[in-house]
Structure 1
Amino acid sequence: MSEAPKTDHAYDGIEEYDNPLPGWWKWLFIATIVFAPFYWVYYHGGAEGRSVEDQFGIALAENTRLQFAEIGDLQPDTATVAKFMGKDSWVKVGKSVFRANCISCHGREGEGKVGPNLTDDSYKNVKTLGDIAKVINNGAGNGAMPKWSHRLHVNEVVMVSAFVASLRGTNAEGGRPPEGNKIAAWPEPPPEEEVEDEKEKS
């Protein structure tokens, strides 16, 4: 039997050993409580660029710029968008561009809010895959869809076009009803080997 001291507490015959927490643990706990308000004010007090989300966005943007330097400036046409539709890492870049700039009109999942639903098979201003980049660059609907050519890098336009194209047929829940006309299916992305060959030639 243990000879450790016991408290005066007893519940249905169950006794409790008197083993208080170490002093260092108590002071560490108190220190975290004291530290928390200063942490919140510094990182979440509204100062631009301090939050973890802001710092991640800055790091992601810098990393994207480095990657763009490797691939050069792309052409926002059907062949290029189709090629990058087959590269998941770049589609994710397009997703981040979409989430940063497009969800207020098209919804977080592309389901459509003010702007049309991007997850069905009907399109108002698009007939070919390359038209997605044209709409992003030049706008549409007499300004209802603003032009983004002066706000986004040409490579960002290609990536977000690839992401928007990938939303087709996902039919997000709660989406706006179809608008425009159904169009032909997107062309298949070129095989990975062909993409690598083109990269080596360039």
Structure 2
Amino acid sequence: MTDNNHKLDHSYDGIEEYDNPLPGWWKWLFVASIAFSPVYWVFYHGGAEGRSVHDIYDVALAENTRLQFAEIGDLEPNAETIVRYSHKKNWVRVGEVIFKTNCISCHGRNGEGMVGPNLTDEHYKYIQNVEDIAKIVTNGAGGNAMPAWKTRLHPNEIVLVSAYVASLRGENVEGGKGPDGREIPPWPEAPPEPEEEATP
């Protein structure tokens, strides 16, 4: 039987070593991985919105949470509901994902304002009461400068993104857009949580 491998010309304590090169396919796969890595880095870590692992996770989380809407039923876009959910961290996070998926091109990633107004200060252009947030998300404002989302978002999503926007008030994000509109009274206090009925 012929052995195509040849021994290397060194020996350690009488131990010899064959020259067993890596398979060509393995070496080319390694080279291809290195060549592909800049493309991967630019795509997923180059700063484009919605492409980072974190952003993809947030979108998947929101999709999963929509399946949980049966847990909370149909939310009413009234002041009590919006304020209550603005204090529920798990649902505020859902509202944040909805916001970052749809609203950052006008309002900035953190609500600091770009084309649209700053949502983190105390000044509001079309809002007098907290429930007005949901009305504007639903129907739009400013001659369609703010588009209507009633045909693109689930009613619960409108309430939850409104709760998130309400929670931004007073954050005063650094580098935010200047005041736009007038200062309005504070949001009402969060209502007490309804007591759960005792199971028989």
TM norm structure 1: 0.71
TM norm structure 2: 0.72
d(CA) in 2 for partners of 1:38 and 1:68?
Answer: 41
| Partner residue of 2:32 out of 27, 34, 40 | 34
What secondary structure is seen at the aligned counterpart in 2 of 1:116?
A: coil
Match of 2:147, as an amino acid? P
Task: Answer yes or no: is 1:190 the counterpart of 2:188.
Answer: no
Q: Which one has a larger percent helix, Structure 1 or Structure 2?
A: 1
2:154 is matched with which residue?
153
Give 1:53 deviation, angstroms. Answer: 6.8
CA contact (8 A) 1:106 1:116 kept: yes
CA contact (8 A) 1:86 1:190 kept: no
1:93 is matched with which residue?
94
CA contact (8 A) 2:140 2:146 kept: yes
1:144 is matched with which residue?
145
Give 1:57 deviation, angstroms. Answer: 5.6
Give 1:182 deviation, angstroms. Answer: 0.8
Seen in structure 2, the aligned counterparts of structure 1 residues 59 and 179 have a Cα distance that, compared at 3 Å, is: closer
Task: Answer yes or no: is 1:80 the counterpart of 2:81.
Answer: yes
What is the RMSD computed on CA atoms of the aligned residues? 3.3
2:4 is matched with which residue?
none
Deviations 1:119-144 (A, max 9, x none): 11011111111010001001000111
Match of 1:34, as an amino acid? A
CA contact (8 A) 1:111 1:118 kept: yes
CA contact (8 A) 1:121 1:183 kept: yes
1:64 is matched with which residue?
65
Match of 2:134, as an amino acid? A
Seen in structure 2, the aligned counterparts of structure 1 residues 152 and 36 have a Cα distance that, compared at 3 Å, is: farther
CA contact (8 A) 1:105 1:114 kept: yes
What secondary structure is seen at the aligned counterpart in 1 of 2:68?
A: helix
CA contact (8 A) 2:62 2:94 kept: no
d(CA) in 2 for partners of 1:59 and 1:199?
Answer: 33
> Which ranges in structure 2 are unaligned for 5 or more consecutive residues?
1-11, 13-20, 45-50
2:178 is matched with which residue?
177
d(CA) in 2 for partners of 1:147 and 1:199?
Answer: 38
1:10 is matched with which residue?
none
CA contact (8 A) 2:140 2:148 kept: yes
Give 1:86 deviation, angstroms. Answer: 1.2
Identity %: 54
d(CA) in 1 for partners of 2:53 and 2:35?
Answer: 16
d(CA) in 1 for partners of 2:159 and 2:176?
Answer: 24
> Which ranges in structure 1 are unaligned for 5 or more consecutive residues?
6-22
